[in-house]
Amino acid sequence: MKTHSSTEPQKAARWSIASPGTDAVFHWDYDGGRNRLLALYEKGKTKQWDANTRLDWSQDVDPENPLGFPDEYVVLYGSAIWERMDAKERGLVRRHLDCWRFSQFLHGEQGALVCASRIVQVVPDLDAKFYAATQVFDEARHVEVFSRYLREKLHIIYPINPNLQTLLGQALGDARWDMTYLAMQVLIEGLALAAFGLIRDLATEPLGRSLTAYVMQDEARHVAFGRLALKDLYPRLTEKERDEREEFAVEACYLMRDRFLGQEVFEKLGLDVPACAEHMRTSEIMQQYQRMLFTRIVPTLKDIGLWGPRLRSAFADMGVLEFGELDTREQGQADEDVALEMERLREARDAYVAGVSAQSQEAAY
């Protein structure tokens, strides 16, 4: 297996996407709007947070296990390749897998930043423009925190995965505003929420766990935004128009399922890529992981009215059709509750530390 002594991040090339027919839309009716979207806008304003103060960047991260995952959650666990590795080699695999995972989060968040800014420009409703404007700032913060985490703690940045790049290109290359919503707010953000949730719930390393929990608090609002906007639109589409969007969603879901195989890591470390891929194809843990990535996407697509036979057939093939019964509002509320509890504990800890420091200073005098 290859080893790497350099910790310099990889520099990604600039990528440009043509967006034909993207016209800015102005709305001259300033009287009110949809109550639920305006309520989401109010929450978006009040829930802003500063990554410099909310996250404790002084915490050290174990380079051989950045998230503190047990071996059972490493995608190669149980394979002949894994069994032949010594402790140092296994640590290198864990590090690179986490670097690759967070690199894809980073690239996806930059895509979300561009998509959200585009939504402000092209969406026809003023209340949607209001909320999308708060999301632009959210996404800038997410790019900031993932970039900083990779640069300062993990020291390796992987290029964007080709499947994610394809989906982002489709989201930004289509002139119809609802396709940007569907690709980003529902599909990419929905998958990210599920992936973040697994880290938040399973990681034992505090910085990575709290970082994902706070980002999830924002992302839950973003998915709700896409759901509310599209739920109003899709019932008014023709059957042909809905079929077209379902076909896009099916293709995107297969792309995203295959995106999380981490082939780039195996290639970089000089591992047997076909053997790694075969293990992941047959690994029960990997199959469960891939299923859990769709716990947010499936119920959201059903809720917005994209639930035709083509989409249901694809989800049955993936083994995720049952997720259509999950409650999207309950999921979002749970994400917010976890982040609020973590923030409460952080504030209590900071108050305790400040109190001890003050008592020490008084005793010194």
Q: Is residue 232 part of a domain?
A: yes
- Tokens at 70, concatenated: 């047990």
Residue 6 lies inside a defined structural domain of this protein: no
Residue 275 belongs to a domain: yes
Structural domain including 331 reads: 35-364
Rounded CA-CA distance 160/162 in Å is 6
Q: Is residue 40 part of a domain?
A: yes
Q: Indicate if the pLDDT at residue 33 is higher than 70.
A: no
Instruction: Flag whether pLDDT at 11 surpasses 60.
Output: no
pLDDT, tens only, 251-286:
999 988 876 678 899 999 999 999 998 998 888 888
Label residue 204 by pLDDT band (50, 70, 90): very high
Mapped to the 3 state alphabet, what secondary structure does 237-301 carry? CCHHHHHHHHHHHHHHHHHHHHHCCCHHHHHHCCCCHHHHHHHHHHCHHHHHHHHHCCCCHHHHH
Give the CA count within 13 Å in the CB-facing half-sphere of 183: 31
Strands (E), the chain: none
Count structural domains, the chain.
1
Give the Cα-Cα-Cα angle 40, 46, 50 (nearest 5 degrees): 125
- Is 152 a member of any domain? yes
Residue 11 lies in a domain: no
pTM of the model: 0.86
Would you say residue 9 lies in a domain? no
CA angle 328, 177, 114 (to 5 degrees): 85
The tens digit of pLDDT for each residue in 338-347 reads 888 878 877 7
pLDDT of residue 91: 96
Q: In angstroms, what CA-CA distances link 256 with 46, 119, 186?
A: 32, 22, 12
Q: What is the CATH number of the domain that holds 297?
A: 1.10.620.20
Q: Is residue 193 part of a domain?
A: yes
Cα–Cα distance measured from residue 245 to residue 236, given in angstroms and rounded to the nearest whole number: 13
